[in-house]
Structure 1
Amino acid sequence: MNFKWSDSEKKVARRAFDKALEKECASIMARFKDMAAKVEKPEDLWAVHDYLTKQQRAIDEKYDYRYSQLIFVFARLLGEKWIDEKDLHGLSAEKLQAIQYILSG
């Protein structure tokens, strides 16, 4: 899927992308703080490290802001509930249909 992105769509996409990233990072930070507060033994410390490493990889893999990938990214973010459909208001009907098609598959 190779869509052309208008300037207004690029702004909508950036806002939705940043919102999802901020929400997911806030969730990770909350879990990290909870885990860190419970550290009592060295192995607890490494469990926190392992959690953060895993989350960093997941974030790096998921949040790809190339326009050629955004339809897939937004479908995933909608499916995982990091954004709502209203966050994508302003994208073309064609892009929204493609996102819904990916979600339904």
Structure 2
Amino acid sequence: MTTTITETGWTTKEIEISQRVLNKAYQRETETLVAEVRHKVNSMTNMEHLWQVHDILSAKRYDLDGKYDAREPMLIFTFAQLLKEGWISLEELGGLESAKLAKISSLSKI
């Protein structure tokens, strides 16, 4: 079996691992957001609370749209941010080249 390496240095196996980890992290983060919004809506007592929920959702949408960048040149940075924020663990990235894991780990500490 031949391993294909892209121009950016990611193997097809690493891309598959990356996609799986990104999907899992996105699911975790969005489930957490839904629970937070549900809690806020359930405790809502006035219009000001409604606008606060709106503001939270607007900011989070902007954040999520930029955070989950799956372009190969950006994956190291994407994973470092997700690791720093606690949405993924280094173990979940098992199967990536050790140099990539070291970069992700180092960047997550900045």
TM-score using structure 2 length:
0.88
Question: Structure 2 stretches of 5 or more lacking a match?
Answer: 1-6
1: distance between equivalents of 2:30 and 2:65? 12
Question: Structure 1 stretches of 5 or more lacking a match?
Answer: none
Query: 2:53 is aligned with what amino acid?
Result: V
2: distance between equivalents of 1:59 and 1:95? 23
Aligned to 1:44: 49
CA contact (8 A) 2:81 2:108 kept: yes
1: distance between equivalents of 2:48 and 2:107? 41
- How far residue 39 of structure 1 moved from its aligned partner, in angstroms, is 1.6
Query: 1:35 is aligned with what amino acid?
Result: K
How many residues matched? Answer: 104
Root-mean-square deviation (CA), in Å? 1.3
- How far residue 40 of structure 1 moved from its aligned partner, in angstroms, is 1.8
Query: 1:51 is aligned with what amino acid?
Result: I
What percent identity do the matched residue pairs reach? Answer: 34
**Distance change >3 Å, CA 34–CA 104, structure 1 → 2:** closer
Structure number with higher relative contact order (C-alpha < 8 Å, ≥ 6 residues apart):
1
Aligned to 1:30: 35
